Amino acid sequence: MTITIYGIKSCDTMKKAITLLDTLDVPYKFHDYKKQGIDKDSVQLWVDELGIEKVLNKRGTTWRKLTEEQKQAADANIDSAIGLLVANNSMIKRPIVEGSYKSKAVLLCGFDKAKYTEMFA
């Protein structure tokens, strides 16, 4: 049973997710995008399973700082969007929780206390 939580340590949403996992005694590994980066295969899997709308954070400052051409390319082509996510990992919605727990596959994006509690309780 291995869970990995992906994100950025300083993110408030990450802190909430980590606190809840700790409270529920769920063992996990933390993968910090800022220090460790993220590979294209992981992002591709998340997009394939969850959809680009769920994985790509268009509300953050990194998205707003992109050029109109970059935004249009990401909206028009999944491969362009994935390339942008790998290059600008702070645009990935946080946290991504992936792995298996009690023989169940886990892939969550974002923080929803009720979903986490249901999955890990």
Tens of each residue's pLDDT in the chain, 121 residues: 689 999 998 999 999 999 999 999 999 999 999 899 999 999 999 999 999 999 999 999 999 999 999 999 999 999 999 999 999 999 999 999 999 999 999 999 999 999 999 999 8
Mapped onto helix, strand or coil, the DSSP state of residue 25 is coil
Bridge partners (DSSP) listed for residue 96: 6, 109
Domains of the chain listed by start with CATH number: 3-120 (3.40.30.10)
Per the CB < 8 A criterion, the answer to whether 99 and 2 are in contact is: yes
Q: Which residue of the set 8, 11, 50, 119 is catalytic?
A: 11
Residue 24 dihedral angles phi and psi, to the nearest 5°? -85, 0
- The Cβ of residue 35 has, within 10 Å, a number of other Cβ atoms equal to 8
The question of whether 109 is a catalytic residue gets the answer: no
Tokens 């709308």 belong to: 53
pTM: 0.91
CA distance 23 to 67: 41
